[in-house]
Amino acid sequence: MTTHDEPNPYESALTQLHAAAEILHLDSGVLGGLRKPHREFTVNFPVEMDDGSVRTFTGYRVQHNDARGPYKGGIRYSAHVSLDEVRALAMWMTWKCAIVNLPYGGAKGGVIVDPAELSDCELENLSRRFISELEPIIGPDRDIPAPDMGTNSRVMAWMMDTYSMAHGHTVRAVVTGKPVQIGGSEGRFEATGRGVLFATEEIAKRRGDSLDELRVAVQGFGQVGSVAARLLHESGARVVTVSDAAGGYYNGNGLDIPALIARADERGMIQGDPPGADRISNAEVIEIDCDYLIPAAIENVILESNADRIEAGVIVEAANGPTTPAAEAILLDRGRTIVPDVLANAGGVSVSYMEWVQDLQSFFWEEDEVNQRLARIMRKAFAQVWDSAEARGLSLRDAANVLGVERVVSATELRGIFP
């Protein structure tokens, strides 16, 4: 949401880009080409509701940069979607894909809608109509959408089917994050959470922390947070806090994560009153006494107003844009370490890339192979970012963005400017 009180995510993304540009001594002409998205597409489209009425929805697809390959990025359904939010998310996708070295550019889409207010039929109609509206600018070689907040594999199935109908044949590679039965990849559902686990393992290793001695708090219990919490729990970490949109659950000895997952609905809301867990507020979740904090929900949760009360020594950003630049400055000043979103949550798009490759070849891999490749991608990118941060005395975010921006600029220079 971008209200007067809420930091604008696009401004945050620009602040981060400028920091990287300064370190790289980027020419102002080159920087100018990275500040603004290449293309912004806004559509207002009608959907027939179950009661026969018609509602007009607004959706966006922002294509930030394609110097390194086709645009790639998710589609978000949320009542708080704005053009500036989608611009920020698209820019972050460009750096994210470059940092983990995928042959993709960056894009993002969004529709202003609370999906919880729609029936299944309305959700299907909205998804099919929105992807038809995007038809001229997407495609397996152009721009490949995927799930993000408020969308899932079912929505991707409708989108793939709709695009395929328009083209007269099945085009599996037009979206990723599909169900495995129709060209999705093994391991894609868990990929972002698994990537967060690898990023957490890598930072722990370098700090000399042992996972089974760590107290971890996970904010958000959706597709990313619940998987990250489970994998960390299975790896021996003590997950002392999890939360959903309604509030948090705390147990200093560690929560029973499988039991909480069994109580969570499709939207990541924990039902009933789980035993062995104290209720805490969402504000308390962020400030809880723990070693590692993993924001896994939305942007703008670590702010200038709460950064000085954060207890965690390490923040692993599973969500996109959870920390504002002002909050980051305070945290770095207080000696905290932030593993930035563009690195920590790159597991999702990394397995999306594998899904796309499998679809294009019509040759599908076992889950083991996917997970091993994901581990290799995440650990290698982490090492590159860490080593550069150490060598140049940079924060992990600056080092990550420098790596991403450098790769995009180099691709741009090699390709030259048309005509």
Nearer to ligand GLU, 162 or 176 (CB): 176
How far apart are alpha carbons 350 and 331 in whole angstroms?
Answer: 29
| Residue with smaller CB distance to ligand GLU, 72 or 87 | 72
Residue with Cβ nearer ligand GLU (298 or 330): 298
Q: Residue 374 Cβ, how far from ligand GLU at the closest point, in Å?
A: 12
CA–CA separation, 87 and 92 (whole Å): 9
d(CA 172, CA 419): 33
Residues 362 and 117: their CA atoms lie apart, in Å, by: 37
Q: How far is CA 159 from CA 74, 189, 204, 321, in A?
A: 12, 17, 39, 26
Give least dist CB 325 to ligand GLU, A.
Answer: 19
348 belongs to the binding site for ligand GLU (CB under 6 A): yes
Interface with ligand GLU includes 318 (CB under 6 A)?
A: no
Nearest alpha carbon to residue 76 among 248, 285, 299: 299
The verdict on 349 binding ligand GLU (CB under 6 A) reads: yes
| H or E segment to which residue 369 belongs | helix 367-392
Shortest Å, Cβ 96 to ligand GLU = 6
Q: Which residue is nearest to ligand GLU (CB)?
A: 74
Residue whose structure tokens are 């002392």: 240
Residues 171-210 binding ligand GLU (CB under 6 A) are 176-177
- Please tell me whether residue 73 binds ligand GLU under the rule CB under 6 A: yes
Using rule CB under 6 A, residue 352 touches ligand GLU: yes
Residue 176 or 371: the one with the smaller Cβ distance to ligand GLU is 176
Residues 21-60 vs ligand GLU: string with x where CB under 6 A? ----------------------------------------
**CA–CA dist 104, 350 (Å, integer):** 10
Is 108 noted as a catalytic residue in this protein? Answer: yes
The residue from 72, 96, 108, 178 that is catalytic is 108
Min dist CB 73 to ligand GLU, Å, is: 5
Minimum CB separation of residue 323 from ligand GLU in Å reads: 15
Helix or strand holding residue 263 (H, E): helix 257-263
User: How many residues lie near ligand GLU (CB under 6 A)?
Assistant: 12
Question: Rounded distance, CA 256 to CA 146, Å?
Answer: 31
**How do beta strands 314-316 and 292-295 pair?**
parallel
* Distance in angstroms (rounded) separating the CA atoms of residues 161 and 167: 10
What is the torsion angle, in degrees rounded to the nearest 10, for the CA atoms of residue 61, residue 129, residue 138 and residue 417?
-40
Residue 26 vs 134, nearer CB to ligand GLU:
134
Return the amino acid letter for 235.
Answer: S
Residues at the site binding ligand GLU, with contacts judged by CB under 6 A: 72-74, 146, 148, 176-177, 320, 345, 348-349, 352
Which residues participate in catalysis according to the annotation?
Answer: 108
